[in-house]
Structures are given as C-alpha cells and as structure tokens.
A and B are shown apart, each in its own frame.
Chain A
C-alpha cells in the first residue's frame, strides 16, 4: 500500500484552511476492475488564497475537484479519505446534505459556461434560485439580489439583462453569469475548473481580473484548476502539480517557476515556448501519460523522466515527502538533482 510508506506525519491542521483534503483517493469501476484515478491526494487551501491544481488531462485534477463538491456519482465510484470544507466533512454526506453546502459554502464554475446554464430560464432566475434555496428569500427579494449580483460581476444594464436568456449572452458574459451564481450566497470556497480555457485571451484577462476583484470583495478562497501555467502565474499563491493521480509537487508560486524540485514540473516549464530561443526545438516530455490501469506501483513518471535511475525510481512507491513547511515533492532523487526553473 502506498499510504503505509508515508515517511512523515500528515501536516498539522491549521484552523485557517478553508479546504483540507487529506489522503483522498477515488476509484472507478472500469473494464479493468477497480481503477484508482486519484491516489492519496492531500493539500490545503488557506483562507483568502488562490491555490492552483495543475496537470495534464487524465492527471486526476477534475476528479479531485468533483470529489470536493460531492459531485461524483455514487455508483461505480469509491471515495476514501477526507475532504473538509470550512471544517465540515464532505465525504459520506447524503445528497440532501451536500446540496445544502453546495452553492452556500462551496461553489464551482466550469470550463463551458454555456453548457452549465439552463437554456430554459432567464439568467436572473438562475441566480435567484440559489438565493431562494439557501437563504429562503422571497421570489422578489431573491431576484433583486440576482440583479445586484449581475451588476457586481460587470454586466451592464443588470436589471434588464437579468430577464435575458443564456443564448443572448456571449461566452465571456455567460462565464460572468456563472460567477454570479457561484458567488451570490458568499461561499467560503470557489472551485474554478479551467474557467477561462474556452475564452479568447482578451476575455480571459477580464475574467481573471474579475475573479481577483470578487475574491477581495467576498473574501473567498479559490481552488483554481488549469493546465495553463501562464494563468497560474497570474492567479495563484500556491500550486499543486498532479501527475497520474498523484500530487508530485506542492509549492509556492515563486518556487514553482524559479526552483522546481520534481522532474515533471521542470518538464512542464521547459515546454513553455521561449520567444528568445526562436528557431530552436521545444523541449518536449517524451511519451504520454499512461492510462490509469497502467500506472506502475513505483514512480509514475519514471518512464518519461530524463533523470530516472533504474533500481531506485522503478523499485517501490514514492512518497510525497516534505522538504520544508508547505513544500512537498514526490521524487526519490530530489536531493541529488539540480533542476531548471523557467529561466534557468
């Protein structure tokens, strides 16, 4: 078992963490039997901060966030470990209990805002519904709140636009509406899963600015899921890098770019094209992320790692060990390697 090999005790629990994920594992029932897609993931989101969850497709970052929200189906899925939102355990709650928490204490925005909104209701009604559900306000009072919220997220003529339907909004405007729905009951935690990936770069910039403003105004902590390290640099205070279902590096934003300690992080940084090195080849990570049923019970990155050493990296499971307070790396060769940062 991977968990038995953990070298250090779990980090001390701090009261100020809005989200505490402790040894979270998620297994899916597949043709290959029970397959673990999230493996022993632990990290925190401290109050008032934005924490990034970075990784390629299939790394388990979205499944992790769905587990936090309690949005995984109950059949064919096994969730173990602990997820605490504002001190309250989410794993094992009933749908009814979860639905009291979702939208009130924790909200989520997704990659495709248009698909997340109902085409059959006005955006004002969709925002007001959350207020009615969680705060028990009247129809009229909750609609007033919806209009206020639309104004806050930067929709002009909010009173009129509240009566419009999602198809009358652009993609960027739909994402503003999604943020209004997510924020209207002042949650403590906002989970943003690739919220700007489908948007144009100028719209993305406005959205990121809006999220920062909302964070300031509503005192919300953000778990920001993305594959884009440029967005991470703009938004996050801390970052957890996931590879093949595991957190392989957990660190501050400065250390991520200046002093990566896991070869995978180094590889991701090196793959960012550098305009000064024009005409040179890009640095690629060879191979591809293996399928979950092919994940080895050793270092999962070793097959693609340029620093891998036979006999050590492919011998046993690798634990995420703490280097310093709040800094963890899942690599046996960590102390021997000198890895390159973004401009190293």
Chain B
C-alpha cells in the first residue's frame, strides 16, 4: 500500500534582504529539498534544533504555508493542487496540534464552540446533535461535560491542550501534525497527553508527524525519525537505528547531548576513573 503522505523536494525560502527599490536581494532557505513519507498508522518524528525548519515543514504539509516547489501527496491526491471541496475534505482529514494551547484556542469562544465549530463548518451539524458529539470528544480526552460553557482562561495548560486535541479529533482525521504538543506542559501532564495520542493511534490507526526538540520523547513515540539541520534533512531512519547508531556527525552530536538519567551510573564511573 502506498504511504498516506509522501513529500518530495519541498522547498521554501523567505526574503532576507531587500535593496533600496524593495527588490529581494537575498533569500533565507528554510526548507531545502525536504523529502519523506508517513505510512498509515505510523508516527514520523522530526527532530532538530530551533531554526532547523521543523515547524515550517509541518505547516507546509498542511498548506498553512505554501511551499515554493515540491510535491505533497496525501492518500493519492496532490495537496498543492487541491481546491474548493477537495481542499475542504483534506482539511477535515489532516489536522494540527500546536505547541501553545493558550494561543491556539480563541479566548472569546466557549469550549462548546471551540470544539464544535469544525462540525458546523464541515458537516453543518448544529444544536443538540453537535453538543452530543462535543461531549463525546471531551470525554474521550478526559474532560468533563459540565465544562462546556467555560472559556479557555478557566483551564490549565494541560486541560487546554486536551481541548485542542478534542477539537482536532472531532472531524475524525486520518493524520495529525503535532508541533511540540507537550513542550509547554509539566512532566506529569505530558504523559497524560502523550498516552492519549498513543491510544488514539491504536484505536483509529491515526498517522502522526511528531515535531519535537525532545529527543527522548521522539525516540519513545516515533517509528521513524527525520533529522533536520538548517532546512535540510540530514538523516532518516527507524527510531532504533537513528538513536543507537547515528551516522551523520550532527546526529551523533545531537544524540550524545541528551541528558540521560539512565546513563548516570556509567558516566559517574567514567568521571571517577578520569579523576
């Protein structure tokens, strides 16, 4: 079976400098010939340091940013050519979860409307039918139904991120780009949100792009991993290969820099030997 998502030769640059006439004289390339695939039910991790271009890739895949060139194929369709009804259908099937739930949810919208809005837009579902679906989704992410008429400010970061996930899930998508979904959350809450993502994948066969600077999380969650550096993909592999036997010097540096409490013993012994 063909992969759910296939990205080939993605390229995007932004103007970096202009001359006196306002003509662009220099461009910063943020995605340089980026290619990868995401299989059905698979999690692809994208790692790299800040500025490597991880988020820009995630957004181009969903056409939140238009690429300069390259192809994006989603379930056989050329995403860059989608229009009208087909584009709407793609937007239903492919969702995004952002890093900061405080800024990704509209502060003036109650939870009822935030989670229910996609249902009205895509299926025209309204009123009690819609509420029933919203409650079902909220319960799925571990929120209570009596919180429907509250506003985002009344929730904690962990709760808001679960609401954002509920909103992403109401349309029963096949694919979600998760851009640092737990970076803003405390350790104990992180695990709750990640478990939810894992459960949904097991139940519904969801595919994820999981963008994170936290390598130990990606190692745990992703099936395959893409390492980005300055807009380019410099290494891809299964999570096991990449973390246990990195090939590219940059990947080696990156993997070696992760503080690992489990390696504490061995490094303590090494320090003792040196001294």
One of A202, A228, A282, A343 near B195 (C-beta < 8 A): A282
Is there a chain A Cβ closer than 8 Å to B23's Cβ? no
Interface window among A83-91, A101-109, A151-159, A270-278 = A270-278
Any chain A CB within 8 A of the CB of B20? no
8 Å CB contact of B159 from A267, A271, A272, A288: A288
Measured CB to CB, the closest approach of chain A to B237, in angstroms, equals 14
Residues of A in contact with B (beta carbons under 8 Å apart):
56-57, 200-205, 208, 227-234, 253, 257, 267-268, 271-275, 277-279, 281-286, 288-289, 304, 342-343
A217 to chain B, nearest CB (A): 16
Residues of A within 8 A of B187 (CB): 56, 227, 229, 268, 271-272
Task: Give A343's nearest chain B residue, CB to CB.
Answer: B262
**A342 x B188 contact (CB < 8 A):** no
Q: Which residues of A contact B227 (CB under 8 A)?
A: none
Alpha-carbon gap, A285 to B195, bound state (A): 11
A275 to B243, CA, bound (A): 10
Q: With both chains docked as a complex, state the minimum distance between the C-beta of B65 and any C-beta of chain A, in angstroms.
A: 23
CB distance from A266 to the nearest CB of B (A): 11
In the complex, whether B198 has a CB less than 8 A from a CB of chain A is yes
With A201-B213, A227-B186, A278-B220 as known contacts, state yes or no: A284 contacts B261, CB within 8 Å.
Answer: no
4 A-B pairs closest in CB distance: A230-B259, A284-B191, A273-B220, A285-B188
Most B Cβ at <10 Å: residue of A205, A230, A231: A230
Q: A227–B259 Cα gap in the complex (Å)?
A: 13
The residue of chain B having its C-beta at the shortest distance from the C-beta of A274 within the complex is B220
Residues of A within 8 A of B198 (CB): 279, 281-282
Q: Do B259 and A234 have beta carbons less than 8 Å apart?
A: yes
Please give, as numbers and ranges, the residues of chain A lying within 8 Å of B50 by CB-CB distance: 200
* Chain B positions near chain A (C-beta within 8 angstroms): 49-50, 156, 158-159, 186-192, 194-195, 198-199, 213, 215-217, 219-221, 239, 243, 253-254, 256-262, 264, 267
Closest chain B CB from A254 CB (angstroms): 8
Closest approach, in angstroms, between the C-beta of A222 and any C-beta of chain B? Answer: 16
Q: Which residues of A contact B213 (CB under 8 A)?
A: 200-201
CB of B130 to closest CB in A, whole Å: 28
Closest to B190 in A: A271
Q: How far is the CA of A267 from the CA of B257 in the complex (A)?
A: 25
User: Chain B residues near A232 (CB, 8 Å)?
Assistant: 261
Contacts of A200 in B (CB 8 A): 49-50, 213
Chain B residues with CB under 8 A of A342? 261-262
- Cβ–Cβ contact A275 & B186, under 8 A: no
- Residue of A whose beta carbon sits closest to that of B195: A281
A288 x B156 contact (CB < 8 A): yes
Q: In whole angstroms, how far apart are the Cα atoms of A103 and B186 in the complex? A: 31
Which chain B positions have C-beta within 8 A of A201?
49, 213, 215, 254, 257-258
A284 contact from B188, B243, B257, B260, Cβ within 8 A: B188
Asked if B186 and A233 make an inter-chain contact with CB atoms under 8 angstroms apart, the answer reads no
What A residues does B239 contact at CB under 8 A? 275, 278
Partner of A282, one of B194, B219, B253, B264: B194
Q: Which among B189, B216, B219, B243 is the interface contact of A288 at CB below 8 angstroms?
A: B189
A98→B243 CA distance, assembly (Å) = 48
B261 and A267 contacting across the interface, CB-CB below 8 Å: no
Do B186 and A57 touch (CB < 8 A)? yes
Q: Smallest distance from the beta carbon of B157 to chain A beta carbons, Å?
A: 8
Q: If the complex has contacts A282-B195, A283-B191, A284-B188, are A230 and B220 also in contact, measured as CB distance less than 8 A?
A: no
Q: A201-B49, A205-B259, A272-B187 known; 9 other A-B pairs, CB under 8 Å? A: A201-B213, A201-B254, A202-B253, A230-B259, A232-B261, A272-B216, A282-B191, A284-B192, A288-B189
What is the CB-to-nearest-CB distance from B231 to chain A, in angstroms, rounded to a whole number?
16
B188 touches A205 (CB 8 A): no
**Contact B219 A202, beta carbon cutoff 8 Å:** no
Contacts of A277 in B (CB 8 A): 220
CA distance A253 to B243 in the complex (A): 26
A106-B264 Cα distance, complex, nearest whole Å: 29
Q: Please tell me if the beta carbons of A230 and B195 are within 8 angstroms of each other in the complex.
A: no
- Could you name 19 residue pairs across A and B whose Cβ atoms are closer than 8 Å? A202-B254, A204-B257, A230-B260, A233-B259, A253-B264, A271-B190, A275-B220, A279-B198, A281-B195, A282-B190, A282-B191, A282-B194, A282-B195, A283-B191, A284-B188, A284-B189, A284-B192, A289-B186, A342-B261
Residues of B within 8 A of A271 (CB): 187-188, 190-191
C-alpha spacing A304/B189, complex, angstroms: 12
